[in-house]
Amino acid sequence: MTRRTDKPAPSTLLPAELVRAVFLDRDGVINEEVNYLCRPDEFRLLPRTASAIRDLRRAGFRVVVVTNQSGLARGYFSPDDLDAVHERMHSELARARTRLDGIYVCPHHPDDSCHCRKPGIRLFQQAAEDLKLRLDQSYYVGDKLTDLIPGKTLGGRTILVLTGHGQREQELARQQSFQPDHIAANLYEVAEWIIHEDSPGL
């Protein structure tokens, strides 16, 4: 079972008007990495994260979180705990005058062989159905290669951030000859790069 913890914004777009998204991992990308984060008071936005999300949405992108949360299957925290963490995230972003367009969660253990756990693509496909997204023209951002592999599979562009586990994963990418389309120090630099790439005539 996949879990989405908020309702997508209503969409009246026709198929020909499908929009693009920036898909973000959560831990180590939006907020400080905490092993099996389960308490709202441990949630801390990384610097300039809210500004990055606000700028991306102003540029016309949907901003969607896709996150593996095996702590649910492991019994480390409950669905209510997860919801409380996400409520904290929503409130901090709202304080900064921005928001997410959706949160999609895989609650399964890595050994469950589900189709929604990244690097699987099921949650991205679900987001595309809900929010009328063009997956092949979207961006996929994370601090692990498992966050980026779906982007390669779906024909989008991938960006590794060096926050969270990013520096370790950068070395792993070199060893595996995995080439992200871009590497950025943090999410704010990600947003700057995407917006610049998307600007006509630049």
Segments making up each domain of the chain, as ranges: 3-198
If one looks up domain 3-198 in CATH, what number appears?
3.40.50.1000
Would you call 90 helix, strand, or coil by DSSP?
helix
Q: What is the pLDDT of residue 199?
A: 73
pTM attached to this predicted model: 0.91
Listed residue (27, 29, 99, 54) closest to 192, CA to CA: 54
- Would you name the residues annotated as active-site residues? 25, 27
- With beta carbons less than 8 A apart as the criterion, state whether 81 and 37 touch: no
**N- to C-terminal Cα separation, the chain:** 43
pLDDT in tens, 33-56: 999 999 999 999 999 999 999 999
Amino acid identity, position 201 = G
Across 142-164, average pLDDT: 98
22 or 13: which leads in pLDDT: 22
Residue 106: φ, ψ to 5°? -95, 120
